[in-house]
Amino acid sequence: MTIVKVGKVTPDHARDVAKDLLASVVKGQDPSRDRAEERGAVTFAKLADAFLHHVEALKKANTHAQYAHMLNAYGEALMTVLPMPKRAKTANPVAEPYEPTARELASQAAYAKRRENRRPIPQIKVSMSEDGGKRIASIAVDHPDPALGYELLAEAVGADSGTFLAGTLDSLAKAAQVGSVVREGEMNYALSMVCGLRPKDQIEATLGVQMAAIHLATMNTALCMGEAKTWELRESQERALNRLARTYVAQVEALKRYRSKGEQRVIVERVNVEKGGQAIVGNVAHGGGVGEEK
């Protein structure tokens, strides 16, 4: 490709032009192609000549002369409405790899540490089939060793028997069911909520299943409220949403009370003793009657 003609510019200027062309190539542009497109581009003069040649055989001489006068007088305005060929877009330069910030790296490390401390919990695989016109959901653990997978699930939900584990999975499937279809994603989401509570026994596991079911129902009710077509239906969904939200809060409080075993402690951080008063620290035994000493 010829950059400039010899003798037209100085060597220093030619080197500057070459540097600019090299920079455009690095950015993904093609100077040779751009020049070829410019040489082959349709100019206004070519369009005007083609148009006048076309109307010469169709119109009278006076009309042809008027067209020629209009093209000469309003050529620039005409150029703004004529479709011109667009130059092909050049490839975007390759973006440099993103450098995460210090806070992003810290969050990433914290997330990795939390995943390391998480218990291994296999996923549940749901397959739908039909039997006599009814859709039936089959639930199975998604693990290379199914027996080990069920044991891991039992440990994660605090189950001490296969019967309780089967009932827990069946309850979660009902919570994730929409119509006759059990949605696999929602079931695994509900299972992760139960396992995230780290239940110590079957009572905590049962309460966790109820909390997961209430949460899914709350989200579905919120969706229905947003899609309500009438104010009456929207108000009905809003009342249901409020009841579900209050139920979830009550379940959280119930779990806290159960885990604390009903123990209540009163901690006194500071005692003020006025002038002339006395403060007793320790156990105090009250007397049984007048004149008796303890």
Q: What is the pLDDT of residue 294?
A: 44
**Domain locations in the chain as residue ranges:** 11-79, 116-259
Tell me the average pLDDT of the chain: 78
Is residue 255's pLDDT more than 50?
yes
CA-to-CA distance for 242 and 109, rounded, in angstroms?
Answer: 38
Token duo for residue 249 = 């809060």
With cut-offs at 50, 70 and 90, classify the pLDDT of residue 210: very high
Q: What is the pLDDT of residue 95?
A: 74
The lowest-confidence range among 3-12, 202-211, 241-250, 253-262 is 3-12
Rounded (5°) CA angle 239-243-247: 170
With cut-offs at 50, 70 and 90, classify the pLDDT of residue 205: very high
The amino acid at residue 29 is Q
CA-to-CA distance for 50 and 56, rounded, in angstroms?
Answer: 10
| Phi, psi at 181, each rounded to 5° | -110, 130
pTM of the model: 0.55
Q: Which of 109-123, 172-186, 203-217 has the highest mean pLDDT?
A: 203-217
Is residue 257's pLDDT more than 90?
yes
Q: What is the pLDDT of residue 2?
A: 55
Q: Could you write out the DSSP letters of every residue in 189-248?
A: HHHHHHHHT--SSHHHHHHHHHHHHHHHHHHHHHHHHHT-SSHHHHHHHHHHHHHHHHHH
Is residue 254's pLDDT more than 50?
yes
Mean pLDDT on 13-31: 66
With cut-offs at 50, 70 and 90, classify the pLDDT of residue 76: low
In the chain, pLDDT over 90 holds for what percent of residues?
Answer: 31
CA-to-CA distance for 248 and 217, rounded, in angstroms?
Answer: 10
Is residue 211's pLDDT more than 90?
yes
In the chain, pLDDT over 70 holds for what percent of residues?
Answer: 64
Token duo for residue 183 = 């949605």
Q: What is the pLDDT of residue 14?
A: 65
